[in-house]
């Protein structure tokens, strides 16, 4: 008897870490003979990889799970699995299990390598399975992954987070910091580069902590230096680096290496020392500015970007003004700005003086207006310049154009031409907006 080809569809929320986990889930599913479905409707198995960083991330997940109910009614054999960060919360798991009988499988962040076995069990027994581990068991083993791109790849270097910023759930849902062996990372990057990958992004919640848990004396700067020796690696990026641990040695290494990109993403979170302290960020406004100055001095062409939270408990108008002043002083190339979202189990969620929603929204819009203006002015200075762009594919908004990123991670749009996808080209900028540069290949 000829079996119909089984298909999978994965829906991913959250950060690059989750995107990369989804690539691994895809790799494992392909290893047990599933093929990628183009549309969710044709899938035999649907996995949702969830995020819990802010409340709206969770609401979107519940909305999506509700939507899938209809597919299950049409196809009772369909397997629906939900995993990822949100599933590390007992409350979310219980809600999903009780209110959404269409969900067959619930798994967490620490056991994604067991998903194929769990699926096989469901196929055989048609039972519902919840398997979430509270704690990590060392590193999640290396898993096959199916990459979205032929020329860009993510490589995990450290799992978990030990920082316990008071607003953040990540340390609770991803466990303690565990660095991946140096040699394993080098081998993986060498293999990817041999397959034609031009740009590698090293992943970790705090990449600067890399190696702190090793007996040997190896740090993140050493890793960058070693990877830079791989001849055909054109671009090396990393996500995310914590300002507290960003050493001057690291700036020097970034300056002296060829592949490491001239982009520093340094989440400041707040410009007020009082709030930074309550957030447990471990640096002051002054220390942060010193770091920025050092970067500008050593790598003047670099882009500096950031993350900012408004409306953290107790944030006064004065505290917020300090954030505004800092943004004016640093003039970030761009910033991700967020409204503080209380997360169950974190210290900040229990703090008094939670800020009313309307004040948070109003602060966010003032901050965004300022940053958009600065981003636009910074981009205006790019007019007429030539930048090096790795062309990634068709742009989302206009299929007549191609999109890519320059070394500073700025989004660049060019008119469509054959043979450019996956190539690194020089582009002269002729038009700009706050978030986008436009130009022509020269």
Contact between 338 and ligand SAH (CB under 6 A)? yes
Measured CA distances, 251 to 138, 224, 256, 299, 306 (Å): 30, 11, 9, 8, 17
The residue at minimum Cβ distance from ligand F3S is 14
Pair 12, 18: CB distance under 8 Å: yes
Q: Which of 6, 54, 244, 378 binds ligand SAH (CB under 6 A)?
A: 54
Contact between 330 and ligand F3S (CB under 6 A)? no
- Strand residue runs (E) in 100-195: 105-107, 129-131, 152-156, 158-159, 178-179
Residue 49 CB, nearest approach to ligand F3S (Å) = 8
- Phi, psi of 9, deg, nearest 5: -140, 130
Query: Which three-class secondary structure state does DSSP give residue 135?
Result: coil
Q: Which is nearer to ligand SF4, 343 or 410 (CB)?
A: 343
133 CB neighbour count, 10 Å cutoff? 14
Nearest by Cα to 14 from 95, 118, 86: 86
Build a one-symbol-per-residue string for 38-57: x at contacts with ligand F3S by CB under 6 A, - elsewhere. Answer: -------------xxx----
Residues 6+ apart with CB under 8 A from 303: 262, 263, 264, 333, 334, 408, 409, 410
Q: Is 326 exposed, middle or buried (0-12, 13-18, 19+ CB in 10 A)?
A: buried
Contact between 49 and ligand SAH (CB under 6 A)? no
Residue 152 CB, nearest approach to ligand SAH (Å) = 20
Build a one-symbol-per-residue string for 295-334: x at contacts with ligand SF4 by CB under 6 A, - elsewhere. Answer: ----------------------------------------
Contact between 170 and ligand SF4 (CB under 6 A)? yes
* Interface stretch with ligand F3S, choices 73-81, 132-140, 165-173, 217-225 (CB under 6 A): 165-173
Nearest by Cα to 102 from 138, 121, 77: 77
Contact between 171 and ligand SF4 (CB under 6 A)? yes
Build a one-symbol-per-residue string for 77-116: x at contacts with ligand F3S by CB under 6 A, - elsewhere. Answer: --------x-------------------------------
Q: Which is nearer to ligand SAH, 198 or 281 (CB)?
A: 281
Contact between 146 and ligand F3S (CB under 6 A)? no
Contact between 348 and ligand SF4 (CB under 6 A)? no
Residues forming a β-bridge with 81: 47, 105
Contact between 14 and ligand F3S (CB under 6 A)? yes
Distance (Å, whole) CA 355 – CA 406? 38
415 CB neighbour count, 10 Å cutoff? 13
Cα dihedral 35, 38, 39, 45 in deg (nearest 10): 10
Residue 62 CB, nearest approach to ligand SAH (Å) = 18
Binding positions for ligand SAH, rule: CB under 6 A: 53-54, 167-168, 170, 205-206, 240, 242, 267, 269, 307, 309, 338, 340-341, 343
Q: Which residues form the interface with ligand F3S (CB under 6 A)?
A: 14-15, 17-18, 51-53, 85, 169-170, 173-174
């Amino acid at each position: 008897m000829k079996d119909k080809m089984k298909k999978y569809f994965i829906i991913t929320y959250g950060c690059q870490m989750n995107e990369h986990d989804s690539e691994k889930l895809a790799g494992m599913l392909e290893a047990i003979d599933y093929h990628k479905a183009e549309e969710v409707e044709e899938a035999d198995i649907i996995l949702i990889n969830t995020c819990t960083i802010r409340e709206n991330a969770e609401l979107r997940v519940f909305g999506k799970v509700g939507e899938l109910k209809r597919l299950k009614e049409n196809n009772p054999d369909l397997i629906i699995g939900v995993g990822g960060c949100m599933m590390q919360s007992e409350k979310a798991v219980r809600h999903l299990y009780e209110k959404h009988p269409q969900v067959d499988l619930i798994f967490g962040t620490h056991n994604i390598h067991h998903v194929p076995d769990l699926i096989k069990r469901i196929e055989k027994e048609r039972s519902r399975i919840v398997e979430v581990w509270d704690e990590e068991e060392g590193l999640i083993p290396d898993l096959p992954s199916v990459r979205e791109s032929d020329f860009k790849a993510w490589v995990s270097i450290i799992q978990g987070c030990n920082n316990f910023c008071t607003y953040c759930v990540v340390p609770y849902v991803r466990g303690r910091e565990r660095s991946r062996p140096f040699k394993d990372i080098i081998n993986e990057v060498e293999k990817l580069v041999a397959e034609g990958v031009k740009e590698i992004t090293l992943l970790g919640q705090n990449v600067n902590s890399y190696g702190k848990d090793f007996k040997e004396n190896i740090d993140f700067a050493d890793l960058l230096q070693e990877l830079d020796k791989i001849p055909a690696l054109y671009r090396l990026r990393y996500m995310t680096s914590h300002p507290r641990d960003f050493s001057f040695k690291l700036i020097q290494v970034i300056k002296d290496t060829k592949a490491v990109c001239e982009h520093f993403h340094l989440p400041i979170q707040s410009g007020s020392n009082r709030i930074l302290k309550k957030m447990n960020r471990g640096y002051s406004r002054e220390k942060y500015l010193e770091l920025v100055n050092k970067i500008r001095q050593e790598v003047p062409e670099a882009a500096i970007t950031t993350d900012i939270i408004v409306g953290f408990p107790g944030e006064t108008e004065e505290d917020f003004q300090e954030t505004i002043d800092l943004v004016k002083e640093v003039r970030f190339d761009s910033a991700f700005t967020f409204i503080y979202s209380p997360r169950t189990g974190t210290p900040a969620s229990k703090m008094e003086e939670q800020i009313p929603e309307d004040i948070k929204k109003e602060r966010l819009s003032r901050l965004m207006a300022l940053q958009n203006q600065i981003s636009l002015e910074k981009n205006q200075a790019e007019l007429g310049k030539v930048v090096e762009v790795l062309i990634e594919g068709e742009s989302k908004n206009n299929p007549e154009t191609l999109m890519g990123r320059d070394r500073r991670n700025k989004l660049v749009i060019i008119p469509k031409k054959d043979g450019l996808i996956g190539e690194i080209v020089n582009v002269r900028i002729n038009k700009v907006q706050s978030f986008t540069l436009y130009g022509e290949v020269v």
